[in-house]
Amino acid sequence: MPLGTLDRTAPPLFNQGQSALSKLIFFGALALFLMVADARFHLVQPLRAAVGAVLYPVQWVALKPVQLAVGGGRYLEDLQTAQRNEDEARKALMQQAERASQADTLAQDNARLRALLELRQTTQAPGRAAEVLYDAADPYTRKIVIDQGLTQGVAPGSPVIDAHGVLGQVTQVLPFTSEITLVIDRDLSIPVQNTRTGVRSVAFGDASAHGGGLELRFMAANADLQEGDLLSTSGVDGVYPPGLPVAKIERIERRADSAFARIYCVPLARVTAARYVLVLAPTGTPSAPPPAAPAAAVRKKSEAKAAKADKGDKGDKGDKGDKAEKKPAERAR
């Protein structure tokens, strides 16, 4: 085929149309026109609203993953903050609860100490306040240990009271602690007196299995005793000051086959919950002797007495000499 017969035009597939420069100028002018028209006459506003309404679902779907990611991060952060705040609030609540319990304990201790001081003012015997440390280890006795001992001046046999009444007696004294036998111990006895009738008796620690009380022994079945009578110390033993409350009669059992009644009493002191106690000096403790006079003063007094005695002797001898001289003169006359 000769070359002149070939078609030199481009096929339709590769037809480029207008040039790129002409397209740029056309579309640039169109965009400028639309911007000016929209700014001046708002011609494109309805079209923009229609396009926005059509594209809103697409935008909502496209923004959901982003919102979920941001919301999830904020949720986790808020959750951590809430947990942290909850932990801090619980710690603060525990501290406040601890402080509240301490305040309640201090208020109770203050009330007990005030009651103990009031009882101390009504008691004539000198006393010393002490704190209960722990109960004795022996399960068959009723004893407690206090924080006052021989170095603080506690003596064996000293009566011990709390804000409500007689608690027990000091039975063992160590350098820094002392052991107190409670009134409910079966080996302790206290002379008591019925405040209603004045009848004296002896209260013993209850030796029964349940324990926790006192018992009046060797009381006649027809004795004038009633439930609710108050028993106080009689003071005849020389240990307990008179008038201290000890117990209250709880139950009286009178039997026909026995000449004695069984009388059960409840101690007034808190024998199982005492915290602060008052250790009194026994009423039979002798008072301290007066201080001895200095040796120099004694010596001076003895010398003065001797000098007065010598002067008295000399005066007597002079009087006798004068009398002897007067007698011969009278005879010569």
- Of the candidates 97, 122, 147, which is a domain's last residue? 122
Token representation of residue 243: 């008038």
Same domain, 118 and 167: no
- Return the percentage of the chain with pLDDT > 70, whole number: 74
What is the SS3 assignment for 277? strand
pLDDT for 39 equals 80
Token look-up 């579309």 returns: 27
257 domain-assigned: yes
Nearest 5°: CA angle at 268, between 200 and 107?
Answer: 150
Instruction: Count, in order, helices (H) and strands (E) of the chain.
Output: 3, 12
CA 283 – CA 124 distance, rounded (Å): 10
Tokens 């959901």 appear where?
64
* Residue 235 confidence (pLDDT) above 60: yes
Residue ending a domain, among 122, 142, 158, is: 122
Same domain membership, residue 175 and residue 96: no
Residues 133 and 260 grouped into a single domain = yes
Q: Is residue 287 in a domain?
A: no
The DSSP annotation for 152-164 comes to GT--TT-EEE-SS
Residues 185 and 248 in one domain: yes
179 and 55 in one domain?
no
212: left (phi over 0), alpha (psi -120 to 50) or beta: left
Which of 280, 301, 321 is the C-terminal boundary of a domain? 280
pLDDT, tens digit (0-9, with 9 covering 90-100), for 58-111: 878 888 888 888 888 888 888 888 988 888 888 888 777 777 767 777 777 777
Say what the pLDDT of residue 265 is: 93
What average pLDDT score do residues 132-161 get? 89
Give domain status of residue 270, yes or no: yes
Q: Which domain holds residue 181?
A: 128-280
Q: Which two tokens stand for residue 277?
A: 């106690």
Closest CA to 30 of 16, 44, 12: 44
Indicate if the pLDDT at residue 145 is higher than 70: yes
Identify whether residues 142 and 258 lie together within a single domain.
yes
Q: Answer yes or no: are the C-beta atoms of 132 and 275 closer than 8 Å.
A: yes
> 151 with 95, same domain?
no
Q: What is the tally of structural domains in the chain?
A: 2
Q: Averaged over 24-49, what is the pLDDT?
A: 82
Query: 252, 215 in Cβ contact below 8 A?
Result: no
Kindly write down the DSSP assignment for every residue of 233-259, as one continuous string: E--TTSSSPTT-EEEEEEEEE--TT-S
Q: Is residue 2 part of a domain?
A: no
Find out whether 136 and 172 touch, Cβ atoms under 8 Å. Answer: no
